[in-house]
Structure 1
Amino acid sequence: MPHAHDARVVVYSRAGCHLCEAAEAEVERVCAEQGSDWARVDVDTDPELVRLFHAMVPVVFVDGRQHDFFRVTPGRLVAALDRPAR
């Protein structure tokens, strides 16, 4: 799996979070279909990420911009990945 700074899609999540697991599975599926890379970042490994996202995980970023939080909408993610990377 690529590092967050190398991936087009980044999922900020935490262990034991059922919404995070569902979002990661959907991101993994869509990215595989679209030929895009993605990365997972555990917010609990960084106090600044805990401060920023606290209970608002999962948060999905595409091309460095916040895209979704809590749930991933596959069609929206496909549309974002169809746009040229920034």
Structure 2
Amino acid sequence: MAMIGMLLITGGFGLLAVFAHHLPLIGAIMLAMATEAGNAFVMMPSVTAGANALPNELVADGNCGYNDGSSVIRFCRCHVRHSVVG
């Protein structure tokens, strides 16, 4: 699945780079959608494998670190809270 995702990302960015000046807005949106679909195909198995590698008591902390764009900050806050609270 990750290989399909990498092909979608590479193809979407490549086509967007080549045809960016000649595409209507809807074409650029469609290529961006293909790129983001590729991102999902790459990230889903990677995150699942990472979560499966954690011991059960750390899965919540690992998930906390992944949930949004500020993952590093949230990850650190979760570990500080976990070590202080217990």
Q: TM-score range by the shorter chain?
A: under 0.3
Q: Which has the higher helix share?
A: 2
Q: Which has the higher strand share?
A: 1
Calculate the TM-score normalised by the size of structure 2: 0.26
Q: Which has the higher contact order (CA 8 A, sep 6+)?
A: 1
Larger radius of gyration: 2
Calculate the TM-score normalised by the size of structure 1: 0.26
